[in-house]
């Protein structure tokens, strides 16, 4: 059976509420950047009570935003997903060979991520021969403030941008024993990242894990992603991590950046 208006066969695994919510998001465009609830209900063909509940749910998750005058428009979550998807596809395709070689050379876990609000969105995760015990997969999101990639990405932001991405709620949760606990302490770390050109995570994300990360730049020189090498803390002190992994990491970042058009 085809789904009305799509011409596609309906899947037996279809979740109707999700489909209706996605149809609402698809209504917005350059010509219709914002709408009132009555217009959303009319265009989607949904009863007003259903449209109201779906809009309220999407707004609570950040995918829609209600303005004071009652108009509804796409929220930050939709914009972030679009940015991450578009840039992520290019990044993954561009960097694939380089990241595989880095994992082979170091025999450690290699990750590529981008910033999404106050989190790092993992686009690539490749395993070397060493086992790093962390429940992280492609698509995972982790707090930027306790990850090496996150600190690299946050260090690239102007001060006002940093304030829009990170607030006190960004430091909540139970993480590693050395996790940073305040914006003031984070700013000191970020200053070091800018000076050094790389960031280290020393059992901040989780006990027993360390990593080193560096930036990936696009054609205009802006940081568009971060690349890291993750290791077991039992095998690598911070000093050994920096001494043995910084060189291969920086070379890989430079190679990916060149492929993205960044100046050499």
Choose between 114 and 29: higher pLDDT.
114
Sheet (strand 223-232) strand order:
141-143, 119-126, 109-116, 223-232, 209-217, 199-202
The closest alpha carbon to 40, from 28, 57, 56, belongs to 28
As a whole number of angstroms, the distance between CA 216 and CA 224 comes to 6
What would the CATH number be for the domain defined by 79-259?
A: 3.30.450.40
Q: Kindly report which listed range (161-165, 203-207, 213-217) carries the lowest average pLDDT score.
A: 161-165
The pLDDT score that the predictor gives to residue 7 is 46
| Domain segments of the chain as ranges | 16-74, 79-259
pLDDT digits (tens, 9 = 90+) for 67-123: 888 899 887 666 555 545 545 556 777 888 899 999 999 999 999 998 888 999 888
Coil vs helix vs strand at 55 = helix
Q: Averaged over 34-49, what is the pLDDT?
A: 94
User: Which pTM does this prediction carry?
Assistant: 0.67
The pLDDT score that the predictor gives to residue 219 is 85
Q: What is the mean pLDDT of the chain?
A: 86
Choose between 95 and 188: higher pLDDT.
188
Report which DSSP code applies to 20. H
What would the CATH number be for the domain defined by 16-74?
A: 1.10.10.10
The pLDDT score that the predictor gives to residue 134 is 63
Q: Averaged over 144-154, what is the pLDDT?
A: 96
The pLDDT score that the predictor gives to residue 90 is 66
As a whole number of angstroms, the distance between CA 84 and CA 121 comes to 8
CB 63: neighbour CB atoms within 10 A?
21
As a whole number of angstroms, the distance between CA 45 and CA 254 comes to 51
Q: Kindly report which listed range (43-52, 82-91, 145-154, 248-257) carries the lowest average pLDDT score.
A: 82-91
pLDDT digits (tens, 9 = 90+) for 249-259: 999 999 999 98
Q: How confident is the model at residue 144 (pLDDT cuts 50, 70, 90)?
A: very high
Domains 16-74 and 79-259 are alike in CATH topology: no
Q: How confident is the model at residue 131 (pLDDT cuts 50, 70, 90)?
A: low
Please determine, for residue 213, whether its predicted confidence score (pLDDT) is greater than 50: yes
């Amino acid at each position: 059976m085809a789904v009305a208006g799509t011409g596609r066969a309906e899947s037996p695994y279809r979740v109707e509420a999700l489909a209706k919510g996605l149809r609402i998001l698809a209504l917005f465009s350059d010509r219709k950047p914002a709408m009132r609830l009555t217009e959303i209900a009319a265009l989607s063909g949904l009863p007003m009570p259903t449209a109201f509940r779906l809009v309220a749910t999407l707004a609570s998750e950040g995918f829609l935003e209600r303005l004071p005058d009652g108009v509804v428009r796409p929220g930050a979550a939709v914009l972030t997903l679009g940015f991450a998807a578009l840039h992520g596809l290019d990044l993954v395709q561009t960097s694939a060979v380089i990241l595989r070689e880095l994992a082979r050379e170091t025999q450690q876990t290699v990750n590529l991520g981008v910033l999404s609000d106050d989190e790092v969105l993992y686009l690539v995760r490749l395993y070397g021969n060493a086992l790093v015990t962390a429940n992280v997969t492609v698509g995972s999101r982790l707090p930027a403030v306790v990850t090496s990639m996150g600190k690299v990405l946050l260090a690239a932001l102007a001060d006002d941008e940093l304030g829009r991405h990170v607030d006190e709620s960004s430091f909540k949760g139970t993480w590693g024993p050395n996790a940073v606990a305040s914006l003031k302490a984070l700013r000191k770390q970020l200053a070091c990242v800018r000076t050094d050109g790389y960031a280290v995570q020393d059992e901040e994300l989780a006990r027993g894990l360390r990593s080193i990360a560096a930036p990936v730049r696009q054609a205009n020189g802006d940081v568009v992603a971060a690349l890291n090498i993750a290791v077991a803390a039992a095998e690598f002190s911070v000093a050994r991590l920096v001494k043995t992994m910084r060189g291969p990491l920086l070379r890989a970042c430079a190679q990916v950046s060149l492929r993205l058009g960044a100046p050499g």
